[in-house]
Structure 1
Amino acid sequence: MGYELDRVLDGGLPFIAYACNSTPTVNRSSFLDLHDYAPLHRSAQCSCSFIRPPLPDVMRHLAQGRVPVLVLNGDVLSVRDSLDGDYVAISHVWADGLGSTADVGLPACQISHITSLTRPLVPNGAFWLDALCIPDEEVSRKRAIGLMAQTYEHAAKVLVTDGGIRTQCSLSSPKEECILRIATSGWMQRIWTLQEGMLARELYFEVSDGLIDVTHFNGPSFHLAWACIPLLRRRPHDVSKLQYYAVSPEPPRCSYRDIIALLRHRTTSKPRDESVAIAGLLGIDAAELVSIPDGDARMRTLLMRCGTLPRCVAVYGWFSRRLDLPNFRWAPSSITHVLWQGDHDPNVSECTEDGLFGLYTVVRFPPVDMCRFIGIMVTITGEVLLQRPAGQTETVSSRTVHIQLSPSPVIARIQSGLDVLINGILITDRALPTTVSEQAAAAVLIPSLKGRTTDAVHPSDADPLHCQFIAAGKVEANDHVAERRDGGDVMRGWKQVEGVMHSLVPVRLT
């Protein structure tokens, strides 16, 4: 319920009130068990036979690097090349019962229904559906997945079929109802479907009595759809005319920064597929990632192919597991867990095999073993920059900040027999806040300063300060955070140390 409300908060108070008085959409993906999965018929009473395409034809097209497209003639599926004519790519979630492989096929009732939807859109109703066009055989399967971005990008139309949207919306439904159901649908909560919807030349949604496209939200509902369905912001539009255009002539390309917000609250049943599922949006060859079996290694390759990353990726992600790979222990294993509200920071970082290089503000202090303490109170002396309103900064001689680490990585390191020794934190802002604030930080160990606290730090672009990522953390610039209300004593379990601040210095994070 919280996630669903979060998806509609940007719609404003009237829309939130509307949503709260509507029956929630059931996300069946939460109950999906891939080990006990079977495709569903259109109705519980149906017992029609399964239809499957000629498997050798599907595999032959994939072996040639071609996308196989299906046409239904009677009760027989034939395979043709996607380049031989227009086709519709179907976008769906397995929880609605359309999951399968080309080896098994789908119930005839489902295929007949799909064809009834696609025939008005393209000649012969030619379509592509993963359940019928991706074989179970490993080599062919990897080839098909490597072609996924191309499959949706080259389709004449992309048709979204989602149980929640279909059963709760009609052509005559209020626009607000359609927006609510799309925003909270299972389709909007899956990672794979982001790419499928965004790469569409023309995007359609199935409702109970027909199809609607993005122009359905032109006019008064334009801004509400804009706020609640983020991928629509990437489609051609004219804000002054309150219009979405039906056709997107060029597929969108996103940066890693863009993807963070677009993936918010999306999930996948196979976490290792996340990098593959978004590669097309980033302009990265998914075939390269599919050939890598390990999910962490896939994400590392994705990050290196991106090259330029927002600096915040190393400090955000309080709940995110990090990659367990040398030089990449700063990197969230899932972009969906970064969970940040947006950042217009002009400075970026560079990702290479040797780690993440960027400008960070460093607060360093004597080494503290976080196995023994809840948090750290650091009294920073020397030149301390404080953030003032309107982007102004002020230099003071002393400031106390409070540092805490995300419990999950601390517990994981302790259980693995690793220490949790830190002697510094990294933040992206050049100055500390002057008001009560929880600022995201990366807790690090600076090996060159381990056991030494008076050495000056003079990093340069040629010789950046090497920091080993330990855990995500937060820093609070409030002098009263760690005081007891009953007497003003410092809370037990906190370590008091003195530190020094270095604003925006070159850092190599590993």
Structure 2
Amino acid sequence: MAADDLAFASLLSRPRIRDHSGCGDILCNAYQTDETIYTTKHVEDGCECNFVGVSTSILIDALSKDKVPKIVITEYLELKVVSGHDYPYIAVSHVWADGLGNPFTNALPMCQLRRLRYFANKLYLMLNPASTPTGSPVGLWMDTLCIPVNANAKAYRKKAIQLLGKTFNEANAVLILDRELEVVESATSSFLELGLHILCSGWIKRLWTLQEASLASEAHGASKIYLQMRDEAFLYQKYDRDRRAAWRIDDQTTEIQAEERGLLNDYGVMLELGAQVPSIHAMRDMREGWSPFRVIYNALEHRSTSKAEDIPVCVAFLMGKNVSTILSATGMEQRMAEFYMVMREVPHGVIWCERPQKLSIKPFRWAPLSITACPQSAFMGQEAGICDSAGLHVRYRGFIFHESYEWNEGGTFPRAFNIISAETGEVLGQLSRPRQRAPWEIPLQQNLAVIMRQDAHPGILPTAAFVVVEATAGEDHEALTTEYVCRLVGYMYFQSFNQVQADGTSFRGHVTAADQMWCIT
């Protein structure tokens, strides 16, 4: 957000704000939950009404037929499951930390069911004024009630997750429940104020709500996301031009200037909302020169989840990929490995990210464990490597150290040295490590090579990656070259000969073609 928006946001009244003392500069941890000690909340403290649940077998019956199970809450707070394709329903997106989840059974307190029924019926009647209250009650989809949590129904839990696209696309509307937003009066608030409340809400900081909102915003070519405010459900992407002009700053500010200032502020908030909740179209149909990872980065940068292994599932799903192999993988590393293979085209920039934690499993030791741990510039380039079960395949110019060197065991490269062509004796340039950065102690060893970037951005990402060549793959007949299979061992920065002095320590080696193939494992 812009500085003036942040200043205004700091003045918002937020009576239900959580404790953010444990949050960082990027990620909010105030909404993290621990399923082992999770407590489903009643509407009012002290309420002890009974829980009402849904039979797991009925959910399984619907999911086994690729149908979305919808819940009808009767006047007597009984739950009925309907799975008809044409039955109208409202999908609910909520923040688990607010207490509307239940990791142990598909059930909620009666007081919460009464509240959900009221919200869903009110929204449906607002969207369909011709409907009568005496007609069939509108259905409701909510993960707490509709995704099986029974330990014996794991396969159908995966099925429900795979059907999320269908679930949110077919819903008549999506209703967002966030306890901070439910105390805001939408009718008396400016669009700027409402937008800032949304941007500061817990709902927009969570991972799964990104998926739910993006899927919903793309349905039928129109947005249908409503946020439950104190007075009504508010269509969050709507810019209401009937609202009063922005307040005047002083007596010298004309009405036109105030309106112009208000429009600019509103436009900025709309852009920020669009970045936080990108459409499916924006994520899947990239403009030329853009990588899907760039949009993913923007959407994930400030979001968190209580289960890190959910991240690759959610992102791959949004990209329209088959998530079955990711869901079947165990643990964060295995799931991220499957994610990179499912994405297949991975920006070259990820291999130049020196600081993020990498996967420890071969052939994915080049891969960042977290996408947002990389600098955003890693996803700006147009080129992408191909990730498959062998590793990440890229094309770069390289330098292979002369095989005649007898390296000292335990020795490491100096902080700066020249590299010289063994064939021509030409000084190609200098490799160095900036003193202000954490140094990579690159060991002297056999079969060492350097991959060098041509689209260098000094100071942002390294420009030289040290690799140990472990094997060669089959020939690429089109490029008349072999592919080197290698692993990353460190990074430096490369400067060409016309930028450095030729004196100092030097090493000789062979220069590869500009499009040499490397398979990084």
Give me the TM-score of the superposition, normalised by structure 2: 0.72
1:39 maps to what in 2?
40
Where 1:468 maps in the other structure, the secondary structure is: strand
Distance 1:431 1:22 in 2: 44
Equivalent of 2:295, from 258, 283, 307?
258
2:198 maps to what in 1?
182
Name the stretch that deviates more: 361-370 or 186-195.
361-370
Contact 1:426 1:444 in 2 (8 A): yes
CA distance 1:213–1:421, shift in 2 (3 Å):
farther
Q: How many Å apart are 1:119 and its aligned residue?
A: 1.4
Asked if 1:347 is matched to 2:347, the reply is no
Query: Equivalent residues in 2 for 1:372-451 (5 A)?
Result: 376-380=415-419, 398-399=429-430, 401-402=432-433, 423-424=448-449, 426=451, 429-432=453-456, 437-440=459-462, 443-447=465-469
Asked if 1:224 is matched to 2:268, the reply is yes
Equivalent of 1:293, from 314, 323, 330?
330
Distance 1:405 1:350 in 2: 33
- Which is higher, the Rg of structure 1 or of structure 2? 2
The one-letter code matched in structure 1 to 2:35 is L
Query: Any idea what the Cα deviations from partners look like across 1:321-379, whole Å, max 9, x if unmatched?
Result: 22222211111223232341474422221111111112235466689999877983243
Query: Any idea what the Cα deviations from partners look like across 1:48-96, whole Å, max 9, x if unmatched?
Result: 2212123321121122222211111021011011523232221122111
Asked if 1:207 is matched to 2:209, the reply is no
Name the stretch that deviates more: 282-291 or 76-85.
282-291
CA distance 1:152–1:231, shift in 2 (3 Å):
farther
Equivalent of 1:463, from 482, 487, 503?
482
Residue identity over aligned pairs, in percent, reads 24
Q: How many Å apart are 1:430 and its aligned residue?
A: 1.1
Contact 2:431 2:492 in 1 (8 A): no
Distance 2:470 2:45 in 1: 67
2:311 maps to what in 1?
274
1:491 maps to what in 2?
none
CA distance 1:287–1:157, shift in 2 (3 Å):
farther
Contact 1:357 1:506 in 2 (8 A): yes
CA distance 1:204–1:438, shift in 2 (3 Å):
same
Query: Any idea what the Cα deviations from partners look like across 1:286-325, whole Å, max 9, x if unmatched?
Result: 3342223343222222222222121112223623x22222
Contact 2:469 2:484 in 1 (8 A): no
Asked if 1:13 is matched to 2:21, the reply is no
Distance 1:97 1:420 in 2: 56
Q: How many Å apart are 1:258 and its aligned residue?
A: 2.6
More strand as a share of residues? 1
Contact 2:418 2:431 in 1 (8 A): yes
Contact 2:158 2:327 in 1 (8 A): yes
Distance 2:178 2:309 in 1: 24
1:485 maps to what in 2?
none
Contact 2:485 2:519 in 1 (8 A): yes
Distance 1:49 1:419 in 2: 69
2:519 maps to what in 1?
508
1:456 maps to what in 2?
none
Give me the TM-score of the superposition, normalised by structure 1: 0.74
Distance 1:45 1:309 in 2: 52
Distance 2:481 2:346 in 1: 20
Distance 2:379 2:486 in 1: 23
Query: Any idea what the Cα deviations from partners look like across 1:168-204, whole Å, max 9, x if unmatched?
Result: 5633223222222222322222222211110103112
Distance 1:22 1:186 in 2: 15
Contact 1:28 1:96 in 2 (8 A): no
Equivalent of 2:108, from 85, 106, 123?
106
Where 1:79 maps in the other structure, the secondary structure is: strand
Equivalent of 1:115, from 114, 117, 132?
117
Where 1:121 maps in the other structure, the secondary structure is: helix
Distance 2:120 2:303 in 1: 27
Name the stretch that deviates more: 78-87 or 101-110.
101-110
1:73 maps to what in 2?
74
2:394 maps to what in 1?
358
Alignment root-mean-square deviation, CA: 4.1
Query: Equivalent residues in 2 for 1:116-195 (5 A)?
Result: 116-122=118-124, 124-137=137-150, 138-168=154-184, 170-195=186-211
Where 1:15 maps in the other structure, the secondary structure is: helix
Distance 2:485 2:164 in 1: 39
CA distance 1:149–1:332, shift in 2 (3 Å):
farther
Distance 2:57 2:140 in 1: 18
Distance 1:334 1:82 in 2: 40
1:475 maps to what in 2?
493
> Which segments of 5 or more consecutive residues in structure 2 lack a partner in the other structure?
19-27, 126-136, 242-262, 286-291, 472-477, 498-503
Distance 1:19 1:496 in 2: 56
Contact 1:380 1:399 in 2 (8 A): yes
Contact 2:123 2:233 in 1 (8 A): no
Q: How many Å apart are 1:118 and its aligned residue?
A: 1.6
Distance 1:167 1:234 in 2: 26
1:89 maps to what in 2?
91
Where 1:299 maps in the other structure, the secondary structure is: helix
CA distance 1:65–1:475, shift in 2 (3 Å):
same
The one-letter code matched in structure 1 to 2:231 is D
Contact 1:51 1:106 in 2 (8 A): yes
CA distance 1:104–1:438, shift in 2 (3 Å):
closer
Query: Any idea what the Cα deviations from partners look like across 1:21-43, whole Å, max 9, x if unmatched?
Result: 44685357445222211111122
Query: Equivalent residues in 2 for 1:234-253 (5 A)?
Result: 234-235=278-279, 253=284
2:343 maps to what in 1?
306
Contact 2:94 2:209 in 1 (8 A): yes
The one-letter code matched in structure 1 to 2:6 is I
CA distance 1:21–1:214, shift in 2 (3 Å):
closer
The one-letter code matched in structure 1 to 2:487 is Q
CA distance 1:332–1:398, shift in 2 (3 Å):
closer
2:253 maps to what in 1?
none
> Which segments of 5 or more consecutive residues in structure 1 lack a partner in the other structure?
1-7, 236-247, 384-394, 450-458, 480-494
Q: How many Å apart are 1:498 and its aligned residue?
A: 4.5
Contact 2:214 2:277 in 1 (8 A): no
Contact 2:293 2:379 in 1 (8 A): no
Equivalent of 1:331, from 347, 367, 377?
367
Q: How many Å apart are 1:153 and its aligned residue?
A: 2.8
Distance 2:359 2:156 in 1: 29
The one-letter code matched in structure 1 to 2:284 is R
Distance 2:505 2:7 in 1: 47
Distance 1:358 1:264 in 2: 26
